[in-house]
Amino acid sequence: MKKIFLQTASHTYPVNIGCNIFNAQNVFHPFQVGDRCVLVTNHTISILWKQKIVKYFLKKKISVDEFILSDGENYKTLNSVHLLLTFLLKKLHDRNSMLVALGGGVIGDITGFAASIYQRGIRFVQIPTTLLSQVDAAIGGKTGVNHELGKNMIGTFWQPESVITDINFLSTLPYKQLISGISEVIKYAISFDDAFFQWLEKNIKKILSLELDSVLYCIQKCCELKINIVSTDEREKSSRLLLNLGHTFGHAIEAYFEYSSWLHGEAVAVGMVMAIQVSKTLGMINTNNAKRMINLIKNADLPIYAPQDMCPESYLKYMVRDKKSYSGNIQLIIPIAIGQLTILKNVKKNIIISAVKACFK
C-alpha cells in the first residue's frame, strides 16, 4: 500500500492506494471502536462490494447503516441530498457520525456535500470504486450536485478524513466507465507532465487491460499531481483552475443532454479536443503536439468528435454559466504544449463556435 498525504491550510489526510489494502491495519483511519457510520452507495456497488466493506467495520465494532442512491449522473441532485439528510435525521445520526462514500464520483460528491451541511459539518471518508474517482474526483474536497442549467453549480469545499483506493474495485467496472476514467488521466498528462504523457503513449493499452503495476503507477501519479495543486490552492482561486482542461466544453455537453447519455469522461475527452482546437486556431500550439494529444485520446477508445445533434451555438449558454467564467465572459483552459497550459480570459464566441465546428465528423 502507498500512502500519500494531502495537506491544506485547514486539514491533512491520507490517500491510501493499493491492492487488497483493506487488510492493512491502519487503512480505516480515523474510525474508532464504537463509532457510527452511514455507508452511502448505489444499487450496483451494494450488490458487488458492500459485504466486503461492512465486514471490516463490524470487525472494529463500528455500527453501520446503509443508504442506497439510484445509479447515474442524472441523480446527482438536491433531491438525492435531501433524501440522504432525511435518512440521517430519522436514524438519529449526530455530529460524531461519519459518512462513507462507496462508489464513483456521483456518490462521492453527494456524500461529501451532505457531510458538509449536515449539522454544519460532519466527517466523511471516500472509498472510490471507479478509475475516474480514484484518479480525480475523490481527491481534493470538491463536493456538490448538478443543476439543469449547469454541472456542479451547487456545492462546497469539504475535505474527507481519508481516501481509500483499492484497484480491485476496477475488476467489476464496465469498460465504458473505465475509459471514462482514462480521460481524466490523459488530462493530467497533457496539463502537467510531458514524461507522464510519453509513458501513457506507450502504456495506455496496459491500463485498459488493468495490468496491475501500470494501473497502480497511473493512479499514484495522478493523485500526486492533483495533491501538489490542491495543497496550495484548496478553493480554486488560482492554479487549481488548471485541473479543468476540457471541462468547460465537456460540462456543456453533459448539461445539454441532461446528464443522461454522455459520461463525464467522454464529454471531457471531446472537451479537451475542442480546447486543443482553440489553441490551434489562435496559433498557440504546434501541429505535432496537438496531433499527439488527440491521438492519445483516440487510442484510449474515447470519443474525439462533437455530438452531432448538439449545434455549436448551444454550448455558449452553458459556458457563460461555468464557474470559471466571470461577468458573462468565458474563460478557457487550453494546452500550449505537452505538459503546459494557459488560461484565456474573455474568449470570443466566434472562436468557441469555430473550435466546436472543427470537431464535427
The whole-angstrom distance between residue 110's C-alpha and the CA centroid of its chain comes to 12
Q: Is 43 a catalytic residue?
A: no
pTM of the model: 0.96
Q: Is 280 a catalytic residue?
A: no
Assign residue 38 a region: left if phi > 0, alpha if psi is -120 to 50, beta otherwise? Answer: beta
pLDDT digits (tens, 9 = 90+) for 114-141: 999 999 999 999 999 999 999 999 999 9
Among the options 93, 123, 221, 264, which is catalytic?
264
Among the options 251, 280, 321, 323, which is catalytic?
251
Q: Is 11 a catalytic residue?
A: no
Length of the chain: 361
pLDDT confidence of residue 247: 97
pLDDT confidence of residue 228: 97
Check pLDDT > 80 for residue 23: no
Domains of the chain by range and CATH? 2-172 (3.40.50.1970), 175-357 (1.20.1090.10)
Between β-strands 98-103 and 162-166, what pairing exists: parallel, antiparallel or unpaired?
unpaired
Taking the CA atoms of residue 52, residue 57, residue 60 and residue 64 in that order, the dihedral angle to the nearest 10 degrees is -150
Name residue 255's amino acid. A
Q: Is 93 a catalytic residue?
A: no
Check pLDDT > 80 for residue 337: yes
Q: Is 120 a catalytic residue?
A: yes
Please write down the HEC assignment for all residues of 261-295. CCCHHHHHHHHHHHHHHHHHHCCCCCHHHHHHHHH
| Cα angle 1-171-17, degrees, rounded to a multiple of 5 | 20
Q: Is 235 a catalytic residue?
A: no
Helix/strand/coil percentages in the chain, nearest 5: 50, 20, 30
Check pLDDT > 80 for residue 244: yes
Among the options 76, 123, 151, 247, which is catalytic?
247
Assign residue 144 a region: left if phi > 0, alpha if psi is -120 to 50, beta otherwise? Answer: left
First to last CA, the chain: 44
Report CA torsion sign: 273, 325, 144, 138.
positive
Q: How much of the chain exceeds pLDDT 70, in percent?
A: 100
Cα separation of 111 and 81, whole Å? 8
* 152 pLDDT tier (thresholds 50, 70, 90): very high
Cell of 84: 440522504
Query: In this structure, are residues 343 and 331 in contact, taking their beta carbons and an 8 Å threshold?
Result: yes
Among the options 76, 93, 123, 226, which is catalytic?
226
With CA atoms as reference, report the closest residue to 226 among 290, 138, 101. Answer: 138
H runs (alpha helix) in the chain: 43-59, 78-90, 105-117, 131-132, 175-192, 194-208, 212-230, 247-256, 264-281, 287-299, 314-319, 349-357
* 15 pLDDT tier (thresholds 50, 70, 90): very high
* 221 pLDDT tier (thresholds 50, 70, 90): very high
Cα separation of 86 and 337, whole Å? 49
Helix (H, G, I), strand (E, B), or coil: what is residue 119?
Answer: helix
Q: Is 211 a catalytic residue?
A: no
Among the options 3, 50, 206, 240, which is catalytic?
240
Among the options 59, 120, 237, 361, which is catalytic?
120
Among the options 161, 244, 266, 323, which is catalytic?
244
Query: In this structure, are residues 108 and 138 in contact, taking their beta carbons and an 8 Å threshold?
Result: yes
The owner of cell 462507496 is 102
Helix (H, G, I), strand (E, B), or coil: what is residue 342?
Answer: strand
Check pLDDT > 80 for residue 210: yes
Helix (H, G, I), strand (E, B), or coil: what is residue 361?
Answer: coil
Q: Is 264 a catalytic residue?
A: yes
pLDDT confidence of residue 248: 96
pLDDT digits (tens, 9 = 90+) for 163-203: 999 999 999 999 999 999 999 999 999 999 999 999 999 99
pLDDT confidence of residue 189: 98
Among the options 123, 142, 187, 321, which is catalytic?
142
